[in-house]
Structure 1
Amino acid sequence: MSLLEINSFAAGRWVAPDANARMIENAVTGAPLGRAGNDALDVQAMLDYARKTGGPALRALTFHDRARMLKALAAHLGKHKQALYDLSFATGATQADHMIDIDGGIGTMFVFASKGRREMPDAHVYLDGEVEQLSRSATFLGQHIAISLQGVAVHINAFNFPVWGMLEKLAPTLLAGVPAIVKPATATCYVTELAVKIMLDSGILPAGALQLVSGGLGDMLDRLTCQDVVSFTGSAQTAFKLRSAPHILRNSIRFVAEQDSLNASILGPDATPGTPEFELFVKEVHREMTTKAGQKCTAIRRIIAPKAQVDAVIEALIARLTKTVIGDPRADATRMGALVSNSQKRDVLEKAAIIGTEAERVFGDPDNFDVHGASASKGAFLPPMLFHCGNPDAAERVHDTEAFGPVSTVMGYRDLDHAIALANRGEGSLVASVITHDPEVAREVALGAGAFHGRLYFNNRDSMKESTGHGSPLPHMVHGGPGRAGGGEELGGVRGVMHYMQRTAIQGSPDILTAIGSKWVPGAAEKPAPSHPFTRTFHELEIGETIRTEPRKITLADIEQFAAFTGDTFYAHMDDAAAKRNPFFPGRVAHGYLLLSFAAGLFVEPNEGPVLANTGLDNLRFMKPVEAGDSIKVRLTVKHKTPRNEEYGEVRWHVTLTSQQDELVAEYDLLTMNAYAS
């Protein structure tokens, strides 16, 4: 079989490896697989291409345009994932591993596409938080906004997830409107190269939005500016070297890191043998030790169990590990494939030897184990290795050494405080899990360990059927952690997008804030509606378009009829003396929901038209009670518009109710779905 020539994509063209390219091996056979790397890449041309071509093209798109682009990319990758599966077997990964890497990466891109459409505006400015009133009469206001950085994101990824590792960074970056230069780990860059080629060949991405470095970055990081971002996944040693470079520090270049992590899993004191929680705990640990041959940044490295249950945990784990078939990842019977390379195998053995100075290996002999359908000596195979640390308080290396493979250590705890202390000895992790059916145990761990872990995963008999697992970062939630884990926060929905945007405080009048944010701010100019706004289509409506209604008088008969009809006979509406004893009411008052109903009657156009449905109210506040004899009138203003699909969009209306003295009685946002066409 001829060697693969793994190319880079730089400044709009594919560049082949040069004479100094690195040789890559097949993880299963140990045989040479391909060559990657070109020391002559013009990195400045790549940066210029991203900044001058990719960036402007992406920033010209709205968040919704970019979200649709992500959705199309994900769908296109989904059509070609079999080719990615076939190539990924050479990394040592099984078909089940491919589902995590390839399908998981595509799924992550779909989630960001959805969040971009649901949680971000069809605009170029993201409003971050509420308007702040900075003056007495509200003519001077403040608002935080986020806008796209005008640089490039350099993504330095790890070897273990060549597809997911790229897409989980790429999705929020592109959604933010920033071009990316992807540098995968060389050991598995051939899978990333194929994924990049599939995306580029689709024609979905604008020119300059995505480039690829298969090999070294050269001096690219020394050419970055304050508008650029480095997002890194890998070892703490490499992260420290990169983030402490004088150029990075001097220019305050954003550096997001996800690195070494001594993740822990705690068996709750209530989870004794025979309970669903005990079986779940053993299953989770086994899965995290063997999935991707333990090459996961979220894998369980420290197994923390009550001292009384340590032997039972070890026995149950050995029973499962014994049945784990190791071998050719293409074989249906294989449950654990190879490590990514023989170099990585050597590294894991070195780290396991360090752990072995403080813990006893109770399962997994790296010199004597079966490999089915492949050669244990030629391929990068190792057995799962389980250690037992009898004195975790005196141990040091068990809590600071990560063997990035199928290696984990069991240790016992005296009480829950001791378990929390042991989990925190890792000095920062991506995730810690707690298997318990006792909510108070979960609360204690959250309070005691939350500061040391980026994610706390609780599971038990109630959630086990639908839970995603200890080691599964989800795009909706933060992926990162403090301390040893790097201090970064990847993913996390829109939080992940914000890494590639600048948060800026704007200050000015209501009209200024309305113009910048494309969202009407109270106090800004109102536009008279040429006709009732409920008769106008989504696209015809303009931000600030307003109608004001005639007043309606509230009578005592209205209040009593509403009480009888709804059954809401709360004393403030029915008993004048009792209401007067309440510090909030002058006497009997109208129901708040009566006022909302009357308000709707004042502003609704009843005939069939573009308004399809009322989908809810937001931010409802009642400011002043209304007595019998008072009147209310309504102001209805188009506040914001958000397209939802090909037929209709959401209109957010600002509604205020005022009394006959023009005092504010209530306000809220009304949400309707409006058709694009009549």
Structure 2
Amino acid sequence: MHAYDSLYIGGEWTRAGGDGVIDVVSPADEETIGAAPLASTADVDRAVTAARRALRTPEWAGLTPEQRAGVLERFADELEKNQADRAALTSKQNGMPIAVAIAAEGTAPPGLLRYYAALARATPLEERRPRLDGAGETVVRREPVGVVAAIVPWNFPQTLTAFKLAPALAAGCTVVLKPAPETTLDALELAAAAERAGLPAGVLNVVTGGADVGEYLVAHPGVNKVAFTGSTAAGRKIGEVCGRLVRPVTLELGGKSAAIVLDDADLTATVQGLATCSLLNTGQTCYLSTRILAPRSRYDEVVAAVAGLAGALTVGDPLDPDTHVGPLVSSRQRDRVESYIAAGKAEGGAVVTGGGRPDRDKGWFVQPTVFANVDNDATIAREEIFGPVLAVISYDDLDHAVALANASDYGLGGTIWTSDAEKGLDLARRVETGSIGVNFFDLDAGAPFGGVKSSGIGRELGPEGLSAYFQLKSIYLRGTSA
């Protein structure tokens, strides 16, 4: 039982202003595994005040980039000491298969801190440019944007926190982190690691709660930037608030990405790749290729191969290393996924595997499900399901495949499957998306990640992810005459 009675604000563990409690329930057995205090708006005020104060203290504001990099590396050291425990904690909270959690939740966060520590050392805070009119020069400064409200979802909580926290700290910002209620425990563990690493007081603050706490934080007058990962619906509301306040915002939102299987694809290799590119974390991943576009000439073959893949995956205890598909994060999420399965059937889709619940006494499980005979305009082809449900859609030629891939409100991920990598690259260039893989999909920490259309605004990761936490100042200089 992981029980916390305090929030982390201003470098101290402090009691919440109210007496509310967040109970964290295991999606695998429906038992309570921990609890955390529920933050009040007064707690958010205290957290933002602490973050603003830390922006001006010599312990943080006075550090050189080299010194800040050292702080990030000490933080990474602390996270590495208990990375197996943190990975297991995520699995217990959200049902993520432990094999995925070890890499995504255990290894990735300290790796991102080290990457941005190196970028902090390599990124000059000032550069001098000669003026185009020849009359002097301009000093262009990079300065921290200020207090960052980082709001993260439950599906990859530690990794998506690091997407925001690592570059924000590298730039010299301070952070108020609001985790999802389902994955509150790991956020408090992260705060404990930050304390052990010696982060100056107020540089990282953690407040807990639901949408109301997040809304209050987003609109808080002491916040300078918002970084959010979550649903498109919530992102639109946040974007509206930040637009009205003229506040910088990064939004990484939903997806309904396409996997385009070419007629020359090796189906054995393709379906092996789709196991992670389309069903990673029980389908609870934003960039997944959940629309499988298959050439009409090989449609039945592709359907059979994808159904064989889904039907062979091991569904079970997320802490078992042999599990491929765990439970969905909550009963509400299972209801949502099952409602989409029902819609797929009602609109004429044919379930070729799955479609129900596995034979388990407890837990919020759904069988990996594959639909055939799906039109690209069907509900299950248009809307983000966020569960282990795939739709196989036929196309006539490559122009038709690209048109189908682009006929979506979203544009976050995608994949191309072919024996000709250069042909795949040419096709990838035509797909309207923020990222796409040829014969695989795996985020690259050194390259920007984000979406187009309803999949978001801005980019995380890479040097571009660091740039998002700087504001630029131009200082015009002209020498004085003797």
Match of 2:10 in 1: 11
1:190 to 185, 189, 201: 185
Question: How many Å separate the matches in 2 of 1:126 and 1:312?
Answer: 58
Q: Tell me by how many angstroms 1:55 deviates.
A: 4.9
Match of 2:401 in 1: 419
Deviations 1:306-341 (A, max 9, x none): 112221122122222222111112224322222222
Q: Which stretch of the first structure deviates more once superposed, 479-488 or 88-97?
A: 88-97
Q: Tell me by how many angstroms 1:443 deviates.
A: 4.7
2:123 to 120, 123, 133: 120
If each structure's helix is expressed as a fraction of its own residues, which one has the higher value? Answer: 2
Match of 1:458 in 2: 438
Q: Which stretch of the first structure deviates more once superposed, 338-347 or 351-360?
A: 351-360
Match of 1:29 in 2: 29
Deviations 1:412-443 (A, max 9, x none): 11111111111111233221211224355335
Question: How many Å separate the matches in 1 of 2:97 and 2:139?
Answer: 50
Residue ranges of structure 1 left out of the alignment (5+ in a row): 371-375, 460-468, 513-678
Change (3 A) 1:327 1:446: closer
Q: In the alignment, is the contact (CA less than 8 A) between 1:64 and 1:116 conserved in 2?
A: yes
Match of 1:67 in 2: 69
In structure 2, give the amino acid aligned to 1:70: L
Q: How many pairs are equivalent?
A: 471
Match of 1:490 in 2: 460
Match of 2:420 in 1: 438
Match of 1:220 in 2: 217
Deviations 1:158-183 (A, max 9, x none): 10112111111100000010001111
- Pairing 1:198-597 to 2, within 5 Å after superposition: 198-203=193-198, 205-216=199-210, 217=213, 219-224=216-221, 228-245=224-241, 248-271=242-265, 275=266, 278-358=267-347, 359-367=349-357, 369-370=358-359, 376-392=360-376, 395-438=377-420, 441-449=423-431, 452-459=432-439, 469-470=440-441, 472-491=442-461, 493-509=462-478
- Higher RCO (CA 8 Å, separation ≥ 6 residues): 2
RMSD: 2.3
2:158 to 160, 163, 177: 163
Deviations 1:131-189 (A, max 9, x none): 35412xx342345432212x300000010112111111100000010001111111011
In structure 1, give the amino acid aligned to 2:114: F
Change (3 A) 1:289 1:448: closer
Change (3 A) 1:479 1:352: farther
Deviations 1:289-309 (A, max 9, x none): 443111111222111121122
Change (3 A) 1:81 1:304: same
Question: How many Å separate the matches in 2 of 1:350 and 1:102?
Answer: 33
2:300 is paired with a residue of what secondary structure? Answer: helix
Residue ranges of structure 2 left out of the alignment (5+ in a row): none
2:219 is paired with a residue of what secondary structure? Answer: helix
Q: In the alignment, is the contact (CA less than 8 A) between 2:78 and 2:196 conserved in 1?
A: no
Q: In the alignment, is the contact (CA less than 8 A) between 2:254 and 2:287 conserved in 1?
A: no
Q: Tell me by how many angstroms 1:34 deviates.
A: 2.9
Change (3 A) 1:507 1:27: same
1:78 aligns with 2:76: no
- Pairing 1:529-678 to 2, within 5 Å after superposition: none
Q: Tell me by how many angstroms 1:353 deviates.
A: 2.8
1:108 aligns with 2:112: yes
Deviations 1:593-624 (A, max 9, x none): xxxxxxxxxxxxxxxxxxxxxxxxxxxxxxxx
1:420 is paired with a residue of what secondary structure? Answer: helix
Question: How many Å separate the matches in 1 of 2:264 and 2:459?
Answer: 32
Q: In the alignment, is the contact (CA less than 8 A) between 2:434 and 2:451 conserved in 1?
A: yes
Change (3 A) 1:179 1:323: same
TM-score for the superposition, normalised by structure 2: 0.91
Q: In the alignment, is the contact (CA less than 8 A) between 1:3 and 1:32 conserved in 2?
A: no
Change (3 A) 1:152 1:414: same
Q: In the alignment, is the contact (CA less than 8 A) between 2:10 and 2:201 conserved in 1?
A: no
State the percentage of identical aligned residues: 27
Match of 1:373 in 2: none
Q: Tell me by how many angstroms 1:409 deviates.
A: 1.1
Q: Tell me by how many angstroms 1:346 deviates.
A: 1.5
